[in-house]
């Protein structure tokens, strides 16, 4: 059994996954901004909702930069140098594996793909991962595309402040799934292309997976996005396939599971 924890900017999801990769039980709760209060609540949620006696490991996805199993920076949460692995190890006496959430989601989505895959999650922020032949590319382990700066309407702004699902909801006061106006989708695609075009041109992926609330509704604007991305890319860049994340909102949880299994093999 594996306890898989997906910590997001607004919500945290915990799932118990068996050795065959089947989710047996899960809970979701609000992410508390205070680092100390968050851990106290996390500990309470685990002890109240899960039996930990048969666990092999705990695998955690965090929305920030992870070095040596420790999250050293988070973009949308006021936490710094959060050694969550040590806290969980001390409390549960189990192996604990920490990795960036988008890296893990990308790993789950592209683990069986050959060539190069690019994964984006358009959620509270914008996260990303680069996977080559089923493995994370070391050069991009600290990939934080949502914090890249682009000029939009004459102002330099972080990409996620323009194109994350939270930014789209704030702009239009509704969920993307409720939007039907073609002009609105054209503007959303314009915002997405600010980052997608240069990143696709530089990384040259064979395919791009889209996750998060905005990405999972790719079917609503796929044609517009594909047409305009193809037109914007240099002629020598092959247009990648645009794919909706197959694991839906559970990409990160499955990524936690696969990552834990990988780490176990390396430890043997």
Tell me the pLDDT band of 200, cut-offs 50, 70 and 90: very high
pLDDT on residue 238: 95
Give the residue-averaged pLDDT of 154-163. Answer: 97
Segment among 22-36, 59-73, 151-165, 197-211 with least mean pLDDT:
59-73
Q: Which is higher by pLDDT, 70 or 189?
A: 189
Q: What is the 3-state secondary structure (H, E, C) of the chain?
A: CEEEEEECCCEEEEEEECCCCCEEEEEEEECCCCHHHHHHHHHHHHHHHCCCCCCCEEEEEECEEEECCEEEEECCCCCEEECHHHHHHHHHCCCEEEEEHHHHHHHHHHCCCCCEEEEEEECCCEEEEEEECCEECHHHCCCCHHHCEEEECCEEEECHHHHCHHHHHHHHCCCHHHCCCHHHHHHHHHHHHHHHHHHHHHHCCCEEEEEHHHHCCHHHCHHHHHHHHHHHCCCCCCCCEEEECCCHHHHHHHHHHHHHHHHHHHHC
Above 90 in pLDDT, residue 253?
yes
pLDDT level of residue 181 (50, 70, 90 thresholds): very high
pLDDT of 267 > 90? The answer is no
pLDDT band at 248 (very low <50, low <70, confident <90, very high): confident
What local confidence, expressed as pLDDT, does residue 146 receive? Answer: 95
| Reported pTM | 0.91
């Amino acid at each position: 059994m594996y306890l898989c924890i997906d910590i997001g900017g607004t919500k945290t999801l915990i799932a118990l996954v068996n050795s065959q990769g089947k989710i047996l039980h899960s809970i979701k709760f609000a992410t508390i901004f205070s680092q100390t209060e968050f851990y106290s609540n996390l500990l309470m949620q685990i002890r109240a909702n899960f039996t930990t006696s048969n666990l092999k490991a705990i695998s955690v996805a965090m929305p920030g930069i992870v070095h040596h199993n420790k999250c050293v920076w988070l973009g949308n949460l006021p936490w710094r140098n959060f050694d969550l692995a040590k806290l969980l190890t001390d409390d549960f006496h189990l192996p604990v594996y920490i990795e960036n959430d988008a890296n893990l989601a990308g790993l789950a989505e592209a683990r069986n793909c050959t060539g190069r895959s690019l994964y984006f999650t358009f959620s509270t922020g914008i996260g990303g991962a680069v996977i080559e032949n089923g493995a994370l590319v070391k050069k991009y382990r600290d990939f934080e595309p949502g914090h890249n700066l682009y000029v939009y309407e004459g102002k330099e702004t972080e990409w996620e402040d323009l194109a994350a699902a939270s930014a789209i909801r704030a702009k239009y006061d509704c969920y993307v799934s409720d939007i039907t106006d073609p002009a609105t989708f054209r503007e959303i695609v314009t915002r997405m292309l600010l980052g997608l075009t240069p990143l696709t041109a530089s990384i040259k992926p064979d395919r791009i997976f889209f996750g998060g609330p905005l990405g999972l509704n790719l079917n609503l604007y796929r044609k517009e996005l594909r047409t305009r991305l193809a037109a914007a890319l240099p002629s020598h860049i092959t247009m990648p396939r645009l794919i909706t994340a197959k694991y839906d909102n559970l990409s990160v949880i499955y990524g936690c599971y696969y990552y834990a299994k990988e780490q176990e093999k390396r430890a043997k």
